[in-house]
Amino acid sequence: MSTLKDVARLARVDISTVSRVLSGDPKQVAKEETRERIIAAAKALEYRPNQVARSLRSQSTSTIGLIAPQLSDFAFTTMLNGIENAALKAGKGLLVVGWDFRGSNSDSKREILLHLLNDGIVDGVLIAFATIGDEFAPILLSSKVPIVIVNRKSKLIGASVTVKDGEAVKTAVEHLTSLGHSRIGYIGLKAGTTTVADRLEGFYSGMKTMGLEVREEWMASGPYPDPDSGNTPLASIIDSSKRIGLPTALIVASVRSAPQVISEMSERGIKVPLDMSVIGIGDTEFAKITSPKLTTVWLPFEKMGQKSVEMLINAVEGKELIDFKLPDSPRIVLRDSTGAPRQ
C-alpha cells in the first residue's frame, strides 16, 4: 500500500500539502495546479489513508463499540437494524462485543470491558439489552469514552434511550379487555432493570384503569432458559391457579419468551387463542413465524437503536447526555394469537 510519502514524492510536494489536499482543508488552500497533481498522483498510486495512523494522530477512531447479548440472540434484531443504519449513515464502524456468552466468566468480561472502554479502540460505547452486573460499575464509571445505555435507565450512566414500556403493557391490557377478557395473567422477567419494572408497573396500572383484579396466581417470571427444563413460568401459573382456574389471556412481557410460551401451550393442549390469548410486548420479525402468529405491541425499537447512536455521537463530540424516552406510542400489531375468550 502506498502512503502519503509516496504520493508526495510522485506529486513533487511535501506530505503535509498532500494531507491538506486529501483530507482536512475545507477551504481548499492549495493552488489548483498542485491540487490536480496531487489528486492525480493519489489516484495513480491508489492511495488510501491509513485509518490507524489517522486515529492515533487525531485521537479518534470513528468506530463505536456495541455491547450486546450474544450476537446470535435473535430477540433484539429490530433495534440492531436501527443501530447499524445509524452507524453506517454517520460513517462509523461498529465493533461488536457479545456479552452473555456461554463460557464467558466474570474475569474475561472485566478484561473485555476495560479494553473496550479505555484502550482507544472506539470513541464511545453502546450497551444494548445486555444486563451488566453491579460488579462492573466501577469500570463503567471510570470509562475513558462516553457510554449510552439502550433499553433501560441506569443511575450509573446518566445517558439512556428507552421506550414507553409501561404504556405498552397498558395498551395490551386494553386490547385484551376490548376482546372481552377480564382474567388476565402476566409473564415478566426477573432482571432488575427499569424496563422490567416499568412494564410490570404498566400492568398494574392498566388493570386498575380497566377495573380488573390482578391475581398473583396468574403471574410468573421468565426467562425461559430451557423450555424442556420443566419449571417454566407457564407451568408455575398453571400450578398455582388450580383453585381459581386459569386466566383467559396472558401478557408476555419479554418478546423472546412469547414464542416459547405459545409452543409450550400447544404441547399442553391449550389452544391459542381459543383457550388462552397471548400477546407479546415488543414486535419482532419472528412473531410472524410462530403458529398461531403472535399478536404484539409494537414499540419503536428501530428508532431506539438509531437514537442511541445519535446520542452517543453527540456525546463523543462533547455534548451533555441525558436520559431520553422516545415519544412514540405503542400500538397493537394484530395477528392470530389473541381473540375473544371462550364462553
Partner DNA sequence: TTGAAAGCGCTAACAC
Partner DNA sequence: GTGTTAGCGCTTTCAA
C-beta of 28 vs 50, nearer to a second copy: 50
Nearest Cα to Cα of residue 233 among 248, 214, 213, 254: 254
C-beta of 31 vs 342, nearer to DNA: 31
Of residues 32-51, those binding a second copy (CB under 8 A): 48-51
Write the single-letter amino acid at 9: R
* Partner that binds at residue 96, options a second copy, DNA, none, CB closer than 5 to 8 Å by kind: a second copy
Tell me the closest approach of the beta carbon of residue 76 to DNA, in angstroms: 35
Residue 250 is placed in which grid cell?
396472558
| Chosen residue from 34, 81, 205, 240 binding a second copy by CB under 8 A | 81
| DSSP reduced 3-state for 218 | helix
Of residues 25-44, those binding DNA (CB under 7 A): 29-31, 33-35
* Partner that binds at residue 121, options a second copy, DNA, none, CB closer than 5 to 8 Å by kind: a second copy
Q: Are 119 and 55 in contact (CB under 8 A)?
A: no
**Terminal C-alpha separation, the chain:** 75
* Partner that binds at residue 5, options a second copy, DNA, none, CB closer than 5 to 8 Å by kind: DNA
| DSSP reduced 3-state for 57 | helix
Residue 276 is placed in which grid cell?
388462552
Q: How far apart are CA 276 and CA 255, in angstroms?
A: 17
Write the single-letter amino acid at 73: D
How, if at all, do strands 295-298 and 249-252 pair?
unpaired
CA-angle at 187, arms to 181 and 191, nearest 5°? 150
C-beta of 22 vs 169, nearer to DNA: 22
| Chosen residue from 40, 44, 53, 88 binding DNA by CB under 7 A | 53
Q: How far apart are CA 202 and CA 204, in angstroms?
A: 6
| Chosen residue from 293, 323, 333, 340 binding a second copy by CB under 8 A | 293
Q: How far apart are CA 104 and CA 283, in angstroms?
A: 29
| Chosen residue from 26, 46, 57, 102 binding DNA by CB under 7 A | 57
Contact map string, positions 134 to 173, toward a second copy, x by CB under 8 A: ----------x-----------------------------
Q: How far apart are CA 189 and CA 194, in angstroms?
A: 11
* Partner that binds at residue 72, options a second copy, DNA, none, CB closer than 5 to 8 Å by kind: a second copy
C-beta of 29 vs 274, nearer to DNA: 29
C-beta of 40 vs 88, nearer to a second copy: 88
* Choices 13-21, 127-135, 209-217, 258-266; region in contact with a second copy by CB under 8 A: 258-266
Q: How far apart are CA 54 and CA 127, in angstroms?
A: 26
Positions touching DNA (CB under 7 A) are: 1, 3-5, 12-17, 19-20, 22-24, 29-31, 33-35, 47-50, 53-54, 56-59
